[in-house]
Structure 1
Amino acid sequence: MKYLLSVLLGAVCYGILSTIVVTAYGEGYGLGEVVGSQLLVGFVLAWGLVLFTKIREKRRSKSSGGNLEKAQQQAKLTWKQRLFLMAAGTPTAVTGLLYYQSLKYIPNSLAIILLFQFTWIGVLIHSVSKRKRPNGIVFLTLAVLFGGTLLAAGIIEQGLAKFNWIGVVLGLLSAVSYSLFILLSGKAVPSVHPAYRSGWMITGGMLLVFALFPPHFLFNGMLGGNLLVFGFLLGLFGAFIPPVLFAVGVPHIGEGMTGILGASELPVAVMLSSVVLHEHVSMLQWMGVVLVMLGVALPELFKRVRRASSNYAMKSA
């Protein structure tokens, strides 16, 4: 359960981001500045966590009389592993770039539903990689989630004709990139402590963004304004907390379940759009939010019902 909650909380953090980004755009900041400041803050926080983890492991090893050399060996990474983790972190940066750019062309609600397509893309990737067909529960869950997102994003009421197709393509590409991030976050050197993995993954994403968008904001005084506030919020809830939580949970629950639990970011984003951005959210959209939450809970509900049935059958026998 703790691994399920870890991934769920990581996805909730992602649901906060779009509201912060729209607010930052409203104050005149650009894509490179928003994503660059986000990953810079995430980089500082991630390596701060690495330092804290090292100090804690040393103290724990000394107090318990354990083998300090063993703990240091576990934290040690070869350069090949570091480069692999950095490469695995680039989809996080790419997802941010594509998703945040799509918000310039299409409404927040549509951008969210396009990013949300990572649910079935993730299940598809998981099924192909494992050469295993999803079971009926997964199909039912995805059907409920898809129906809920259509309602929650307002697609049924507004239609697609008036939306900018550049934004639509960018949103779909962000879903593909997000699916790759979920896949790689579980595969990239899972034996290493999540703090060390997250540090190198965020480093890879930051270097990619800085290569595409040179960080002029570091020298032109822009950080002295609200950009630092936006960067801190985006870095905390986008570049730091979710990768750490995903690094903890994904290796234990798998990419397919991760994709389903990740749906929780949609209702969070819709609620924040209504409360913070004062966007109109209709009754149909709120019904969609409820359906999405039901879809997120379905796999665990089925497990509990099946477990209760099995226990009852064993007691009856």
Structure 2
Amino acid sequence: MKGIIYVILGAVSYGILSTFVKLAYGDGFIVNDVVGAQMLLGALLLWSAVLISRVWRRRAGAASANTYAKPTRKEVLLLTVVGSSTGLTGMFYYLALQYISASLAIVLLFQFTWMGVLVEALINRKLPGKGKLLSLIPLLLGTLSATNIFTTGLSKVHWLGFLFGFLAATSYTVFILLSGKIAVNANPMTKTALMISGGFVICAIILPPTFLTDFTLLVQLAAKYGLILAFFGPFFSTLMFAKGVPLTGPGLASILGAMELPTAVVLSAFVLQEHVGAPQYLGMILILLGIVIPQLMQRRAERSPSFGK
């Protein structure tokens, strides 16, 4: 039960980010500073947590010896490079929020679900399983419904917002495919700190934050939104997933992680007062079904007496 709670908390914390980003834009902050503050402060929080945990383990002695392997120099470099993809995800996602609603942006980000299936099939040169293929139907129909294409067409959706949303999904797909294959025995917190550090570097290069030359701006942004975004984004959500996924398993975690989608949509409707109509809610439900179907089919197959024979 603890694992389920951890994963849900991690997903919900991710889901609230778009609302705070929109509020930051409304207060006049620009995307360069918003994404830069989140990544920089997130990295600082993570490295602080890594340092504190090391000091605690040393004081506790052999009874709490570190069971994680220390990443090699090559793994450190790879984690930092792979981390650039999570930085690009945040950057593209927050750029999309400048042009489209938070409810639509999160729907576009969730296209990583079918993108991951496609890339996996190309890498393995093998068609996806029946469950994954079936999941593509509600995923695609849900996306079309959520973008309101059936009633208004794409003309009502800013093309830059649409493009940045899909780029965010693409970079997130790369992150998911690569992050789990590097330094698998290393401390998850240390891994994440390295990746978020890499993410900040790439974001600062592409979208240089103005607070690098104006410390007062950083303080103002951190006080209003930066610390909130850093805490619920890179720090808290990462910690919850790191604690929860080993307890629930990746399959159930994928289902529970979908809570990010309804969280973002509901908050955009009630906090930002964005119009979310029946087609958007229907699309959200279809996307959730597309995520749940293959996981339920797999769990059912694993429980079948003939599974593995």
The alpha carbon displacement at 1:5 in A equals: 7.1
TM-score (norm: length of structure 1) = 0.82
Contact 1:17–1:238 at 8 Å: present in 2 too? yes
The aligned counterpart of 2:17 is: 17
| Partner in structure 2 of residue 130 of structure 1 | 124
Q: What does residue range 151-166 of structure 1 map to in structure 2 within 5 Å?
A: 151-166=145-160
Q: Following the alignment from structure 1 to structure 2, what is the Cα–Cα distance between the partners of residues 86 and 257?
A: 28
Could you tell me which of 101, 106, 109 is aligned with 1:107? 101
**In the alignment, which of 227, 234, 244 is matched to residue 232 of structure 1?**
227
Amino-acid identity (%): 43
Q: Describe the superposition over 1:73-99 as per-residue Cα deviations: whole angstroms up to 9, x where unpaired.
A: x45333222111110100111111111
User: Cα distance 1:246–1:55, how it changes in 2: closer, same or farther (>3 A)?
Assistant: same
Shift of 1:308: 5.6
Deviates more, 1:226-235 or 1:87-96: 226-235
Query: SS at the partner of 2:28?
Result: coil
Please state whether the residue corresponding to 1:221 is helix, strand or coil: helix
What does 1:174-213 align with in structure 2 at a 5 Å threshold? Answer: 174-213=168-207
Which residue in the other structure is 2:45 paired with? 45
Please give the alpha-carbon distance, in whole angstroms, between the structure 2 residues aligned to 1:153 and 1:233. Answer: 28
Question: What's the counterpart of residue 77 of structure 1?
Answer: 71
Structure 1 residue matching 2:40: 3-state secondary structure: helix
The answer for the alignment partner of 1:297 in structure 2 is 292
Mean Cα displacement is larger for which, 181-190 or 262-271?
Answer: 262-271
Structure 2 counterpart of 1:147, from 137, 141, 154: 141
1:54 matched residue in structure 2: 54
Query: Partners in 1 of 2:121 and 2:242 — Cα distance?
Result: 21
CA offsets per residue over residues 91-115 of structure 1, 9 Å max, x none?
A: 1111111111122223333322222
Corresponding pairs, count: 303
CA drift at 1:269 = 1.3
Unaligned residue ranges in structure 2 (runs of 5+): none
In 1, are the aligned partners of 2:37 and 2:230 still within 8 Å (CA)?
yes
CA distance in 2, matches of 1:23, 1:275: 13
Deviations 1:280-307 (A, max 9, x none): 2223322333333333333343345445
Change (3 A) 1:8 1:151: farther
Q: Which moved more, 1:100-109 or 1:270-279?
A: 100-109
> Secondary structure of 1:225's partner?
helix
> 1:174 Cα shift?
1.3
Query: Which residue identity is paired with 2:272?
Result: L
Provide the C-alpha distance between the structure 2 equivalents of 1:86 and 1:247, rounded to a whole number of angstroms. 18
Partner of 1:121: 115
The amino acid across from 1:53 in the alignment is S
Other-structure match for 1:315: none
Deviates more, 1:194-203 or 1:148-157: 148-157
Alignment CA distance shift 1:45-1:237 (3 Å):
same
The one-letter amino acid of 1:167's match is: G
For residues 184 and 247 of structure 1, the distance between their equivalents in structure 2, rounded to whole angstroms, comes to 16
- In structure 2, the partner of 1:310 is 305
Q: Tell me which residue corresponds to 1:96.
A: 90
Q: 1:177 to 1:105 in 2, by over 3 A?
A: same
Deviations 1:149-202 (A, max 9, x none): 333343333321232222222221111111011112211211111011111111
- Letter of the structure 2 residue corresponding to residue 38 of structure 1: Q
